[in-house]
Each structure stands twice: as C-alpha cells, then as structure tokens.
C-alpha cells in the first residue's frame, strides 16, 4: 500500500511515521509538506520506503496529481477550518481514501457536504480521527450503544500547556475560542458564545480538576447528526495551567482572532516565543466523555476517559483507521464522509486496537 501523508512534517504526524515505518502493509510512504527540504530530510531519517516531496495545500490540481497513484492519504494539514473540505474534495477527485485529524466544528460542517460526491466516487472520507474529536466520539458511541435510551452526551477535553504543538495547532486554538459555536440542547442546535459556560471537570492525572468552556470542536455538531435521539450534546475544552485560557479570552476581546490572517500572524509569533512561558510540567492531555440515559429502567451515567501525549493520542486513531481501511475492515460501507461514530459499528474493537498501540483509555 502507498500512503500519502499530507503535512508529513507536522509535530502531530511523528507517531504515525514511527508506526508505518515498521508496518509491512505500507511499502511506500510519501511525506508531502510545504517545506520540501524538511520533508526530504525527515524522509531520509525514517528509511528507504519514505520519500519527501513539496506540497502546497492551496494548489488543488497539484494535490490531486500527488494523490493519484496512492492508495490512501492521511492529513495533518491545518488549520482544518481552512483545509479539510478542499483536501477531501481533492481525494474524491483523485479516487483515493482519506483520513484526517480535522478538529474544527465548521470544518466538519463543510466536509459533510461532500458525502454524496464521495458516495458516487466510492471514496471514504474519514474525518476527525484524532483525540478530540476522534477518541471522544468512539467513547461516546460506546456509551450510546450500551444504554437502552441514551439522552445526553457531554464531551470534555483539557490540554496540558507543556505539550509541543505547531503553528496550525495554535491557529486552531485561537479559532475555537473566537466568536460562536454550536451545541445541541432540547433536541436541536443552538448557537453559543465560545469561552462561556465554565464548569469544573475531574480528569485523570496529571490534569486532575480543571475548568473547561464551550469551544469550537466538532463533537457537538457531529454526534447528534450520527447518533439519533439525543436530547443534549455539549463540548467543553480548556488548558492547564488555566492562565492560558484567561489570556486567550483577553486577546479575543481585542479582536485579535477575528480573521484567519490575524490568527496566522499570532500563531507564528507565539510559536516562536512559547518556550518563554512556564508549563507547570503538564506535558499530557486528557479527554472525558459522560453519556447519560436509561438502562434497565434506571437513569445511568457512563463515564470514560483517556490520557496521553497529544501527538500520540492524536496520531494513533489516524494510523489505526487507515490500516483498518486498507485491510478491508470497512468494505461493507459505501463511499461517503464518516466521523468515527458513524464509521464504527462496534466501538470496542477500535478502542482495543488503540489500547494495543499504547493509548491509556479508561472505560
């Protein structure tokens, strides 16, 4: 199998590269990145089956040409509110399957407009196979199917400020704390202001208790579209130490996050100086999902969580989904756009696969 890694030099991609290096299923791996020299150098580090090549995500004909001849693409090119839908459209045009870590709620709403085109082309677009969204949705699906009548799902994430992230991750962080986002209440979608509705959530160590807020991740728009009958779906996120969120909310009030250009400039600046900020030693990130509903005539709350270095918990779902797809695990499904909870009929199998890859999942 020939794998194309879009954004192959991204920090989040490193765990994937280590896995595919030792996986005989993938006999050719193309690392495509805007920084061609870095892509070639990184390919050289990983061995003879790796090849580095330039890729400009804004050049759709060039991306399609690169995709043709490959079996599947794994995408790390962010911010996804800008790139998910166009790159998925390229995959459909090229006729190859596509798996991404897309995390923005509006990116999800954009890419699902390609569902009919993907079905006609027989192409599977697997969107949001990171940690949040990603592992969170697999856990949500597990709890949803375990209850007789699931009613509410509350997804929570918290990032350790000591984690190493790239410029596109910072743009994403600025975006999800800017303006409004969508949540699901009383069986319908409502618009809320990001950075509001604070609540305290008990996460696994090392995060422990943290305050989280409405943020623009994809779960609150994806889960109610794919898991019918839910009355409420909420998505809260934050960072620890908490001063990062305080800074984000102050900057938002100045209008600093209003446009993509402003977010990009700020992301480059903060990425350059991020080592100046104390991290508190918190170099892991966490997620927690609570599913509430009826079981055997009684209201029941199921709580699941996970913890790990952000690159690991973000990359392993992409790797596992791409491997399963190439091995024919989803051949019974037609082409289309699939979030994790839509794709996986038996969530436990995928969760067991993640555990085998070293992800700390607590169910």
CATH no. of 135-309 = 3.30.360.10
d(CA 134, CA 132): 5
Residue 174's pLDDT is 81
Residue 172's pLDDT is 77
DSSP letter for each residue of 189-206: EEEEETT-S-EEEE-STT
Query: Helix axis angle, 36-46 relative to 14-21, nearest 10°?
Result: 40
DSSP designation for 275: G
Question: pLDDT digit of tens for each residue in the chain (363 aa)?
Answer: 999 999 999 989 999 999 999 999 999 999 999 999 999 999 999 999 999 999 999 999 999 999 998 999 999 998 999 999 999 999 999 999 999 999 999 999 999 999 999 999 999 999 999 999 999 999 999 999 999 999 999 999 999 876 666 677 777 788 788 889 999 999 999 999 999 999 999 999 999 999 999 999 999 999 999 999 999 999 999 998 887 788 888 888 888 788 878 887 777 776 655 654 544 557 899 999 999 999 999 999 999 999 999 999 999 999 999 999 999 999 999 999 999 999 999 999 999 999 999 999 999
Residue 32: CB atoms within 10 Å: 28
| Token pair for 109 | 């709403």
CATH tag for 2-130+311-362 (out of 2.60.40.420, 3.40.50.261, 3.40.50.300, 3.40.50.720) = 3.40.50.720
Residues whose CB falls within 8 Å of the CB of residue 61, separated by 6 or more in sequence, listed in order: none
pTM of the predicted structure, to 2 decimals: 0.93
Domain ranges of the chain: 2-130+311-362, 135-309
The answer to whether the beta carbons of residues 100 and 318 sit under 8 Å apart is yes
């Amino acid at each position: 199998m020939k794998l194309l890694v879009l954004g192959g030099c991204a920090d989040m991609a490193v765990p994937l590269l280590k896995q595919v290096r030792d996986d005989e299923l993938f006999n050719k791996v193309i690392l495509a990145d805007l920084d061609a020299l870095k892509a070639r150098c990184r390919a050289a580090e990983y061995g003879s089956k790796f090849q580095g090549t330039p890729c400009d995500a804004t050049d759709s004909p060039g991306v399609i040409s690169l995709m043709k001849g490959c079996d599947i693409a794994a995408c790390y090119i962010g911010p996804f509110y800008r790139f998910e839908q166009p790159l998925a459209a390229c995959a459909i045009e090229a006729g190859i399957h596509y798996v991404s870590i897309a995390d923005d709620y509006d990116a999800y709403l954009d890419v699902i407009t390609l569902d009919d085109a993907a079905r006609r082309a027989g192409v599977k677009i697997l969107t949001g196979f990171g940690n949040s969204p990603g592992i969170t949705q697999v856990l949500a699906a597990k709890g949803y199917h375990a209850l007789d009548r699931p009613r509410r799902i509350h997804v929570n994430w918290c990032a350790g400020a000591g984690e190493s992230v790239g410029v596109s991750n910072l743009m994403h962080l600025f975006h999800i704390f800017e303006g409004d986002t969508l949540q699901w209440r009383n069986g319908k979608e409502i618009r809320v202001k990001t950075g509001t509705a604070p609540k305290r959530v008990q996460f696994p160590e090392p995060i422990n208790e943290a305050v989280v807020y409405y943020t623009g991740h994809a779960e609150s728009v994806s889960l109610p579209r794919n898991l019918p009958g839910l009355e409420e779906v909420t998505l809260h996120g934050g960072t620890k130490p908490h001063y990062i969120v305080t800074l984000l909310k102050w900057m938002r009030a100045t209008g600093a996050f209003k446009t993509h250009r402003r977010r990009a400039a700020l992301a480059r600046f903060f990425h350059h100086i991020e080592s100046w900020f104390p991290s508190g030693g918190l170099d892991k990130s966490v997620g927690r999902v609570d599913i509430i509903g009826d079981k055997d005539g009684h209201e029941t709350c199921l709580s699941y969580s996970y913890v790990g270095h952000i690159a690991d918990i973000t990359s392993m779902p992409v790797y596992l989904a791409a491997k399963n797809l190439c091995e024919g695990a989803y051949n019974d499904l037609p082409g289309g756009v699939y979030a994790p909870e839509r794709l996986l009929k038996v969530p436990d199998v995928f969760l067991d696969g993640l555990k085998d890859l070293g992800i700390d999942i607590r169910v």
